[in-house]
Structure formats: structure tokens, C-alpha cells
Amino acid sequence: MPAIKKAKKSEPVAGLVLAAGASTRMGTPKQLLPAGHALLIERVLSQALESDLDRVILVLGYMAEEIRERIRFGKEPSRLEIVENSGYTQGISSSILSGLSRVEKDYNHVLILLGDMPHITSGVVNRLLAGYLASGLALGALKVGSRRSHPVVIGRPFFPALHQLTGDRGARDLFLRYSDQVCLVEPGEEYKDSDIDTYEEYLEFKKTLE
């Protein structure tokens, strides 16, 4: 088991927003779907940037250039950095590694946020960060009902394990294997942890905006 070092509340955390997929089940790039007064990916990014995350990495892949041009973030200097994962077809693991490579030298903790979870709020992110850092554990996740859910936070002791990920597998197995090192944090507010994969799910989400 990796050695666990207690984190301080003041320790900086980088966020990885994963949005490189080809949206094959949707049939159109879901990153660019309208979501109220913003695009879907902008909705997630705005909450990440309003949170206490010290740096935010947006990982793009499919249609990266078009998405970069369409979104209103990342054109001016800020704590947001946009990176392109040219190997996005290899699965989510490649996007995690693309983002991690930009921050692992300077940050001991990374929060992984899926770019198609439109109900995320900065408050939920901040509550997860605070609970995780205060716990002294090296893995953190939201607890929604009786389930572990996204976003998740991973500390430096487990960075080597992230480098071993392959294919379309995220950090789920890591959380199962080291469940005794996981800090679960309640959202602290009404929070729907669903993501959007199909057009039907998108239509259901749009109803919540009416």
C-alpha cells in the first residue's frame, strides 16, 4: 500500500476536466450542446473555475480545435490551461494521463471531473476538497446516497497507479482496491450526479433548465 502523507488544508489542488471523447452515443459533440446560456462544457468549466481549485486543466481530444474556438474560456491568461489528448481514442485513461502530466510536478492532489456532468457546482467541489484535505487520506470522492460518485480526488501516493491505467478505465479499481484510504464526502446540497451520454438524457437535462 502506498505511504499516506497527511494533507494540510492549505495544500493546492489541480483539477482535470475530462472532455476528450467523441460522443459516439450522442451522435454530435456533447461538449458543444446548448445548456441554458452556455455550452455544456462551459457550464462545467465555469463551476470548476469558480471553485477553490488552484489550477484547472481542460483535456480535449475529438474536435479539439473547434471546441477550443467555440468556448469562451481559455483565450485570456487565467488559471485554466487547455491541453489536447491526441490519443483520446485509447480511452479515458489517456485523458487522465494527459492532464496529470501537466500538473503532477507541482501539485500533490488532483481532482478529476467529467466534462458531461452539468449539475456540478463550485460548492460541491469545495466541500469535497475541504473534506478530503482534512481527512489526511489520499483518495476522496463524493457520496451520493449510498454510492461513491464523481468528482474524485487523488493524492500523490497514487499517482504511480494512475500511470498504470490503460484503455477506457478510470480510477474506479483504485478506489475499490484501497477502499480503506477513501474519504467519502456528502455533497452538502441537492446534487444530481448524472452525466449526459445520449440525446434522450440531454432532453431530460434541458427540462431542468425550464
Would 114 be classed as within a structural domain?
A: yes
Task: Give the three-class secondary structure for 57.
Answer: strand
Reading the chain (210 residues) residue by residue, the pLDDT tens digits are: 554 444 444 699 999 999 999 888 888 899 999 998 899 999 999 999 999 999 999 999 999 999 999 999 877 778 999 999 999 999 999 999 999 999 999 999 999 999 999 999 999 999 999 999 999 999 999 999 889 999 999 999 999 999 999 888 888 899 999 999 999 999 988 899 999 999 999 999 988 886
Would 4 be classed as within a structural domain?
A: no
- Give how many domains the chain has, as a whole number: 1
Would 101 be classed as within a structural domain?
A: yes
pTM, 2 dp: 0.92
Would 41 be classed as within a structural domain?
A: yes
Would 174 be classed as within a structural domain?
A: yes
Would 1 be classed as within a structural domain?
A: no
Q: What angle do CA 25, 59, 14 make, to 5 degrees?
A: 130
Domain that holds residue 146: 14-207
Would 136 be classed as within a structural domain?
A: yes
Location of C-alpha cell 486543466? 57
CATH number of the domain enclosing 80:
3.90.550.10
54, 76 in Cβ contact below 8 A? no
57, 14 in Cβ contact below 8 A? yes
Backbone angles phi, psi at 3, to 5 degrees: -70, 135
